[in-house]
Amino acid sequence: MSTTSGTTAGRVTADPTSGSPHHPTDRPGRPVSRLTEGPTAWSSQGRGWVILEIVIVLALSLGRSGVYSIVNLIDKLTQSKPLGDQTTQMNPSITPDRPWLDLAYQVYYFILPAAEVLLVLYLLHQAYGRARSLIGFDLARWGRDLGKGAIICASVGLPGIGFYLLAHAIGINTAVSPANLTAAWWTVPVYLISALLAGLQEEIIMLGYLVTRLRELTWAPWVAIVVSAVIRGSYHLYQGFGGFIGNLVMGLVFGYLFLRWRRVLPLVIAHFLMDAVVFVGTALLAPYLTWL
């Protein structure tokens, strides 16, 4: 590890404009992602503070969801009804008899995921600068990102539906009901916003943030991706073991693409498209999809 001004007590210090570890740029205006380079510390924070930050972020966001999902799965497994005969509802209405209040609840539930995304972008910016460019969450290649997202959606989403049907058929997954909002003028927009926030939350936190910070700790890229994928699978355990396995595989594929492209935006787009198709499609076609 080399810096321009040395190290003190495990804390890297360097000139933030020199392309040194503190600020990932080779020259002003050109951010460089070092996610796939060899082990090196390239922020000004000590190792212990980085670990503490990761623990806090996960405890406040998707790590907490993982713990809930484990407890919820234990609940399902200890019921008299087999797992395959149970149903998991997503996007439920809170007050179906009062649509205006139901909408208020739905908007309220958007606040925390949005805040989590803003938090990790802020933390990345504080640590490295140019956070959105660092993880590829910008519009510099929006056309390519959109095309890649659509291809990923089709390539991962269709096999994913097939795997879900198999997992439910063999009894290792609950029946998942993804669209349960009361029909109103705002129903489809709420589904779309839910899909967008899911894409932003999962991909920016689990890939853009977590993989970047684990690389800061000199973890090998494949180890960082496996850890991220396992956590991704864990917070889908509320659906059953099929939800865990399917999302674990998705996490590995998305993690590989993130390291290859160094851009999280196409993965956010793909995630949004998959969830939007499932949420809105189920809501519109529910009478014809009772077999699903």
Exposed / middle / buried, residue 8 (Cβ in 10 Å: 0-12, 13-18, 19+): exposed
**Mean pLDDT in runs of 10 for the chain (292 residues)?**
38 33 37 44 72 97 97 97 96 96 98 97 93 94 97 96 96 96 96 98 98 95 97 98 98 98 97 97 80 58
Q: Evaluate whether residue 16 is within a structural domain.
A: no
| Structure token digits, residue 88 | 């998991």
The pLDDT score that the predictor gives to residue 25 is 37
Q: Evaluate whether residue 20 is within a structural domain.
A: no
**What is this structure's pTM?**
0.84
The pLDDT score that the predictor gives to residue 46 is 85
Backbone angles phi, psi at 182, to 5 degrees: -65, 140
Domain that holds residue 221: 47-288
Q: Evaluate whether residue 144 is within a structural domain.
A: yes
The pLDDT score that the predictor gives to residue 44 is 56
Q: Evaluate whether residue 88 is within a structural domain.
A: yes
Angstrom distance (rounded) from CA 61 to CA 140: 28
Task: Please provide the DSSP assignment of 139-162 as one string.
Answer: STTHHHHHHHHHHHHHHHHHHHHH
The pLDDT score that the predictor gives to residue 290 is 65
List the alpha helices (DSSP H) in 17-61.
47-60
Angstrom distance (rounded) from CA 123 to CA 112: 16
Angstrom distance (rounded) from CA 71 to CA 67: 6
- Residue 192, number of CB atoms within 10 A of its CB: 15
The residue type of 268 is: V
The pLDDT score that the predictor gives to residue 265 is 98
Angstrom distance (rounded) from CA 92 to CA 94: 6
Q: Evaluate whether residue 203 is within a structural domain.
A: yes
Three-state DSSP class for residue 54: helix
The pLDDT score that the predictor gives to residue 159 is 96
Q: Evaluate whether residue 123 is within a structural domain.
A: yes
Backbone angles phi, psi at 25, to 5 degrees: -135, 140
Structural domain count of the chain: 1
For residue 202, the Cα-to-chain-centroid distance in whole angstroms is 1
The pLDDT score that the predictor gives to residue 9 is 35
Q: Evaluate whether residue 29 is within a structural domain.
A: no
Asked if 171 contacts 84 with a C-beta cutoff of 8 angstroms, the reply is yes
Q: Evaluate whether residue 280 is within a structural domain.
A: yes
Q: Answer positive or negative: Cα dihedral of 157, 158, 161, 163.
A: negative
The pLDDT score that the predictor gives to residue 285 is 85
The pLDDT score that the predictor gives to residue 289 is 67
